[in-house]
Amino acid sequence: MHRSLALLLLLATPAPAQDWPAEVAAIVDEARDLCSGTFTAFPTAVTQVDLTGEGTPDWVIDSAALQCSDGYGLYCGTGGCAVDTVIDGIRTSLLLHAWGTETDGGITYLTAPNDLGGTTRFLWGDGEWQIQ
């Protein structure tokens, strides 16, 4: 798991706001609109990483890296934090405690810890995440 996290940190690149496509900016704007205080999107809130194994970077918006000065717990709860992905212009949302990627047999998976202490793998197909 630590190796996957280290690899993710090397492969996931925080993206400056001016480089965000409209779909990504809209997700961050929605989060900002929920906040009536000071909104902060930390650099790790929006990253680019190849989630499909096709060799092109996709977008991950991790609400764990969003903060509202007057809304503790606004973006995360006991079930986890919203993790939105934008792949080929398609937006999907998952509720996760953390996320990473793993490539196994040439197939790239989005991974997340599960409540049983293991790892759940999601595979992108037909415009949605499918639990493997």
Higher pLDDT, 17 or 109: 109
pLDDT at 88 over 90: yes
pLDDT at 75 over 90: yes
One-letter amino acid for residue 58 of the chain: D
Residues 13-57 have pLDDT tens digits of 556 666 899 999 999 999 999 999 999 999 999 999 999 988 999
| Separation CA 25–CA 100 (nearest Å) | 22
Q: Which of 49, 45, 1, 13 is nearest to 27 (CA)?
A: 45
Compute the chain's Rg from CA coordinates: 14
Mean pLDDT value across the chain:
88
In this prediction, residues 55-84 reach a mean pLDDT of 93
SS (H, E, C) 79-112: CEEEEEEEECCEEEEEEECCCEEEEECCEEEEEE
